[in-house]
Amino acid sequence: MGRKARFNKEGEVVKKGPGRKAKKQKDPSFLIPIPGKETSPDKKLSRHQKLRAKKRQQKVQERQQKQKLKQQSVKLTNGNNAVDESSEESDDDEFPLRPSTSGFSDENKLWLKPKKRKHEESDVEEEEESDDASENDEEESNEEQDEESEVEGEDESEAEDEDQSEVEDEDASENEDEDSLKVQKLSEFVDDDSDENDEFSDETDDDNNDDDMLPIEKQSKKLRKKQEKEDKLAEEELQMNIADQEKFIFPFMEAEKEVKSLQDVQQRIREVITVLSNFKTLRDGVHSRAEYLDILKDDLCVYYSYNDFLMEKLMQIFPLSELLEFLEASEVQRPLTIRTNSLKTRRRDLAQALINRGVNLDPVGKWSKVGIVVYSSQVPMGATPEYLAGHYIIQGASSMLPVMALAPQENERILDMSAAPGGKASHISAIMKNTGILFANDLNKDRIKAVVGNFHRMGVVNSVITCMDGRKYPSYMKGFDRVLLDAPCTGTGVVAKDQSVKTSKDEVDIQRCYNLQRQLLLAAIDCVSAKSSTGGYIVYSTCSILPEENEWVVDFALKKRNVKLVETGLDFGTDGFVNYRQHRFHPTLKLTKRFYPHTHNMDGFFVAKLKKFSDVIPKSDTTEEGEDEMSIVEPEEEKEEDKIEEPQPPRKKTKIDKNLPKTKNKDQKKKQGGTKEGKKEIKKVKVKDREQVEEIRTNKNITTANSQSNKKNKDKLKNKNKQQPESSNGKVSKKQNSEKKKLKQKTENQSNSNSATNKNIQSNIAHKKKKKKNSESSEDSKQVQKSKKIDWMDVPVQAASQLQKKMKKNKQKKQIGELKKSKKQRNSGNFNKKKMKKR
Ligand SMILES: C[S@@+](CC[C@H](N)C(=O)[O-])C[C@H]1O[C@@H](n2cnc3c(N)ncnc32)[C@H](O)[C@@H]1O
């Protein structure tokens, strides 16, 4: 499309027509002469080009002189060598046409070969091409262009020029000099580079020995050497870093702990992990492992923006190396996956349709026949005609697993207890091929709308959608073949999707979640019929990775209902925990599956499959209390199963109190119940005398020591429970029951004796008039300490009366204010009426 040069002999062009462009633009001119073609004599060089040409000429002359001198000296000193080497060279088959020259020496030998070969091998066309290229370079490059490239082009072209002039001036016998000169030009090109970069200066000398090399090869060799150098430096640096790491100094002062930048934090994380990985040898001898871990935890919190609580939980779940992998993986979103709706289409057809729309995709893996990974798409995946037609749903890969574990069958009665927005429920329906009945339930009215929408879009017609609390479900409907409980959870497995999880979750959230999860799981089990001919299965899943919400909940259900764990049927995923910190779960919990972002490239997930073997609810569930050895904060649902707790309520202290340890003493319970209203009011009062409360707490701590024997008895009780056959799951023989009762009595007696000591201590406090008659158990006091909650029973009753007075006053004030307002309004109304009348 560019302008065409005119190389016709006459230089005349027959104008085809008066085009606009032709009028405006002149013919292109070429600054560099094209070999073999006549150049215009009035070629103008720029100032820079002239200067460079001068320089080059000077250089060439200098080198020529030097070479001549060298050649002479070589001839004088080592005349025989030259002959030998020339004979060696002549044997070289590669360059048979190279003329044997008398003045051949070691130095020119290096340069001759490539240049010679170039001359001999390259035909005129090639030369023209290269020259054209240089012309183009010249044309395109302006003076401000990169000097290096300019020099390259010019060097080559000028070398050619000078070669030509040499050829013209000197006769054939002086070919050797000519060649040497040409190669000098090449070397000059190399030298220029070396001038620019000192690093290469030594290397150029070495390069000169590579007589077989083309300039490009030489350059690549240089680059290689440079790379090697850099690698060496990097290695040295690494060694230095390692040496530094070994000298990690523990930050003693608080000020030292503070780091300036994220890079510093990262560096310290690495250092501390190195120390911890080889603690014996690398530790400073003063600080304990726990102290190092504390620093690491703080740094990880800063670096990955987690709160202290969650980071600690994660550190308890993963070994250090895996923890980092998890944290890193949680920073990145998982690949987008969709699930084919087999009610409407086949995966192959869907994939083809999407590919036609420019979607780059793949099957999600061998484990799923309906999953597709979408790498990239030119259209939003939630707005394609296929999506709107219900051919697929956007669903995380891990969300397909619980339904696969549930393995629904056609014509069954299945319940999805927490179904909204209906991803898994629609999957169940698809596997059932729209047969049988699917009950899709959710507590959340707004979210249930999404279920309706999705079912319509995807053509689900075998469903009944309900909106109620899952915990109440068994009282309305039972006898399901299978139940899926994809429970509400903290979402610690989907941090990549929802970064707020990192900072928003705390102990109370987890307590609230696992309380609800336990209740929901028990209800789910109660909904299933053990007599189902095809099923009798319950699948429990969460998108949390915390054992408190997973293994612990399932372990609890194993104790409370006649269920056992069975294989999930998922052939990947890591086994569930059997041991977690001080907890020992039922050994079959290893049949549950865990999925992690860093190992399975999907959201963190937990899946457990239970089989119900009897519809009888074990008596132990209603009679036994506090036998759950795992619970740090005992949930109250065992006795108050029927009491419906609002799921995920806003964080209020009243709710926290619900999670407080069970009080086993009936009197105490009555007390709490009796003063509920008063308590509510008292909770609003700011505690002025905090010292009092702290004193009480310290006293409670003392009771912990006294009640250790009490604990022992409890342990005995637990052991008794453990000794029972697993299959019976709580069916306790009469003998064992009586033994238990005896032990219980013992513990109660002991706790009473503890209470006596407490009373003595507490009586020393003047302002405490009436105290609890029975002391709280050691566990209780621990829990109070842990949750740092104020025992409102200890707040003076006076505060309550004061509050009542205040509230009365406030009410009065409000009433007065309202009266005033209404008066004003009336007055203003009268005033307006008067105005109107005047008008
Ligand atoms: C993890 S989501 C379920 C996701 C759903 N299974 C899916 O795949 O689309 C948990 C659901 O439980 C619901 N939920 C919370 N408390 C509930 C309760 N007490 N009874 C029933 N559903 C509840 C929430 O509204 C939420 O929609």
172-216 pLDDT, tens digit each: 334 444 443 333 333 333 333 333 333 333 344 444 556 677 888
pLDDT of residue 16: 52
pLDDT of residue 249: 65
Least confident of 194-198, 219-223, 289-293: 194-198
* 616 pLDDT above the threshold of 80: yes
What phi and psi, each to the nearest 5 degrees, are found at residue 349? -65, -40
pLDDT of residue 267: 87
The total of other beta-carbon atoms located within 10 Å of residue 519's CB is 25
The ligand 1 atom at the shortest distance from the C-alpha of residue 451 is: 9
Q: Look at residues 459, 411, 417 and name the one whose alpha carbon lies nearest to residue 436.
A: 411
Answer whether 310's CB lies under 8 Å from 544's CB: no
If you measure from the C-alpha of residue 489 to the centroid of ligand 1, how many angstroms do you get, rounded to a whole number?
Answer: 9
pLDDT of residue 33: 46
Predicted ipTM > 0.90: yes
Q: How far apart are CA 551 and CA 594, in angstroms?
A: 10
Q: How far apart are CA 328 and CA 266, in angstroms?
A: 12
User: What b/e readout covers 159-170, taking b as 16+ CB neighbours within 10 angstroms?
Assistant: bbebbeebeeee
pLDDT of residue 450: 97
pLDDT of residue 48: 77
Please give the residue that has the higher pLDDT: either 792 or 51.
51
The ligand 1 atom at the shortest distance from the C-alpha of residue 486 is: 6
If you measure from the C-alpha of residue 474 to the centroid of ligand 1, how many angstroms do you get, rounded to a whole number?
Answer: 17
* 659 pLDDT above the threshold of 70: no
Binding-site residues sit at: 418-424, 442, 469, 486
Confidence of residue 287 (pLDDT cuts 50, 70, 90): confident
pLDDT of residue 206: 47
pLDDT of residue 63: 84
Confidence of residue 816 (pLDDT cuts 50, 70, 90): confident
Please give the residue that has the higher pLDDT: either 113 or 219.
219
For residues 729-749, average pLDDT:
51
Q: What is the DSSP letter of 689?
A: -
Query: Helix 320-329 vs helix 308-317: angle between axes, to the nearest 10 degrees?
Result: 120
Q: Look at residues 237, 209, 206, 247 and name the one whose alpha carbon lies nearest to residue 224.
A: 206
310-346 pLDDT, tens digit each: 999 999 999 998 999 999 999 999 999 999 999 999 9
* 35 pLDDT above the threshold of 70: no
pLDDT of residue 822: 81
pLDDT of residue 740: 54
pLDDT of residue 144: 38
pLDDT of residue 248: 61
Within 8 A by CB and 6+ apart from 643, the residues are 636, 637
The ligand 1 atom at the shortest distance from the C-alpha of residue 424 is: 8
If you measure from the C-alpha of residue 637 to the centroid of ligand 1, how many angstroms do you get, rounded to a whole number?
Answer: 19
Please give the residue that has the higher pLDDT: either 45 or 430.
430
Answer whether 91's CB lies under 8 Å from 100's CB: no
* 25 pLDDT above the threshold of 80: no
222-272 pLDDT, tens digit each: 899 999 999 888 888 776 665 555 556 666 555 556 667 888 888 889 888
Q: How far apart are CA 166 and CA 179, in angstroms?
A: 10
Ligand 1 surroundings by CB, under 6 angstroms: 399, 417-424, 442-444, 447, 469-471, 486, 488, 647
Q: How far apart are CA 205 and CA 199, in angstroms?
A: 12
Q: Hey, whose CA ends up nearest to atom 25 of ligand 1?
A: 444
The ligand 1 atom at the shortest distance from the C-alpha of residue 516 is: 19
For residues 528-557, average pLDDT:
97
If you measure from the C-alpha of residue 469 to the centroid of ligand 1, how many angstroms do you get, rounded to a whole number?
Answer: 10
Q: If you count them, how many residues does the chain have?
A: 839
Please give the residue that has the higher pLDDT: either 581 or 567.
567
Q: Look at residues 265, 249, 198, 252 and name the one whose alpha carbon lies nearest to residue 226.
A: 198
pLDDT of residue 591: 98
For residues 481-488, average pLDDT:
98
pLDDT of residue 44: 62
Answer whether 602's CB lies under 8 Å from 334's CB: yes
Confidence of residue 838 (pLDDT cuts 50, 70, 90): low
Q: How far apart are CA 274 and CA 375, in angstroms?
A: 36
pLDDT of residue 191: 34
Least confident of 423-427, 594-598, 636-640: 636-640
Element (H, E) at 790: none
What phi and psi, each to the nearest 5 degrees, are found at residue 675? -105, 25
* 549 pLDDT above the threshold of 90: yes
Please give the residue that has the higher pLDDT: either 378 or 649.
378
If you measure from the C-alpha of residue 477 to the centroid of ligand 1, how many angstroms do you get, rounded to a whole number?
Answer: 18
Please give the residue that has the higher pLDDT: either 203 or 507.
507
pLDDT of residue 414: 98
CA 768 to chain centre: 53
Average pLDDT, the chain: 69
Q: Look at residues 734, 731, 717, 733 and name the one whose alpha carbon lies nearest to residue 621.
A: 731
Tell me what percent of the residues of the chain surpass a pLDDT of 90: 39
For residues 516-521, average pLDDT:
98
Please tell me the pTM assigned to this model: 0.53
For residues 645-655, average pLDDT:
34
372-416 pLDDT, tens digit each: 999 999 999 999 999 999 999 999 999 999 999 999 999 999 999
pLDDT of residue 279: 84
133-159 pLDDT, tens digit each: 333 444 443 433 444 333 343 444 444
Binding-site residues for S-adenosyl-L-methionine sit at: 418-424, 442, 469, 486
Please give the residue that has the higher pLDDT: either 168 or 386.
386
Least confident of 379-393, 481-495, 694-708: 694-708
Least confident of 478-487, 568-577, 812-821: 812-821
Q: Letter for the amino acid at 657?
A: D
The ligand 1 atom at the shortest distance from the C-alpha of residue 417 is: 21
301 flagged as catalytic: no
Which position among 301, 489, 513, 543 bears the catalytic label? 543
Long-range contacts of 676-682 (CB under 8 A, 24+ apart): 678/797, 678/800, 679/792, 680/654, 681/800, 681/803, 681/804, 681/807, 682/792, 682/795, 682/799, 682/800, 682/803
If you measure from the C-alpha of residue 306 to the centroid of ligand 1, how many angstroms do you get, rounded to a whole number?
Answer: 25
Please give the residue that has the higher pLDDT: either 35 or 348.
348
* 106 pLDDT above the threshold of 90: no
Residue of 395, 443, 473, 513 to mutate, ligand 1, most atoms within 8 A of C-beta: 443
Residue tagged 């680059």 (tokens): 223
pLDDT of residue 75: 54
Please give the residue that has the higher pLDDT: either 675 or 57.
57
For residues 94-102, average pLDDT:
34
For residues 659-664, average pLDDT:
35
